[in-house]
Amino acid sequence: MTDPDRDTPDAAAADAPPPAPAPSAPSAPSTPPAPPHGDTGWQALPPRARWLFVLSGALGFALPGAIGLAVLGTLLGGGESVRTLMLSAWAGTLAWGAWMGLRRYRYTRWRLDADGFGLQRGRLWFTETRVPGSRVQHIDIRRGPLERRAGLSTLLVHTAGTRDSAVAVPCLDAGDAERLRDRLAAWVGADDDEA
């Protein structure tokens, strides 16, 4: 004997699972969203580069500070209090150099856009360098032992002309440096093909 409820089309439809959604057609590519307010496209250096800037700043002040303080200590006499004062002053000099290196790290930015490569440095003495893609001659990547250990690289962009003929960007992420090199090299190759 058959169940009258099951033979009706409405009952069969109620027991069936819902139909799967139809696959949607691929949408047309949309324009990228506008950058948030204040975002200018400038990229900061990776956080692991901070300690290299601090170290280079401290070491940059270490030797000149030691020599200057040794000369001053000799002129003042070699007493215990003078030595303590000179060591304290030297430690202050190292701290000053480390702080300067940290500020150099914080105020170094780079950008690659349709017009070329840009580098910003400094805050009090602000410098912005722009290298149009048509002026790039060749690109080098340098990795010292400390940079290799931290996964960083220095990008050297050699340009046509004599003033600032090479722009160096220290402590870039190694992957970013290679992508920048490849993109800038593509511009160089395109210019060579047009010539």
> Which residues does 72 contact at the CB level (< 8 Å), separation at least 6?
86
Mean pLDDT over 182-191 rounds to 78
Q: What is the percent of the chain where pLDDT is above 70? A: 74
pLDDT of residue 30 exceeding 60: no
Q: What is the pLDDT of residue 155?
A: 93
Banded model confidence at residue 82, pLDDT cuts 50, 70, 90: confident
Mean pLDDT of the chain: 79
* Helices 80-106 + 50-76 axis angle, to 10: 150
> Which residues does 57 contact at the CB level (< 8 Å), separation at least 6?
97, 98, 99, 100, 101, 102, 104
Q: What is the pLDDT of residue 152?
A: 95
Mean pLDDT over 88-111 rounds to 94
Per residue in 101-135, pLDDT tens? Answer: 999 999 999 999 888 899 999 988 899 998 888 88
pLDDT of residue 1 exceeding 60: no
Banded model confidence at residue 171, pLDDT cuts 50, 70, 90: very high
pLDDT of residue 57 exceeding 80: yes
Q: What is the pLDDT of residue 172?
A: 93
Q: Give the whole-angstrom CA distance, residue 122 versus residue 126.
A: 5
pLDDT of residue 7 exceeding 60: no
pLDDT of residue 195 exceeding 80: no
The matching CATH number, chosen from 2.60.40.1120, 2.30.29.30, 1.20.1260.10, 3.90.180.10, for 109-194 is 2.30.29.30
Banded model confidence at residue 73, pLDDT cuts 50, 70, 90: confident
Q: Give the whole-angstrom CA distance, residue 170 versus residue 189.
A: 24
Of the candidate ranges 49-63, 71-85, 143-157, the one whose mean pLDDT is the lowest = 71-85
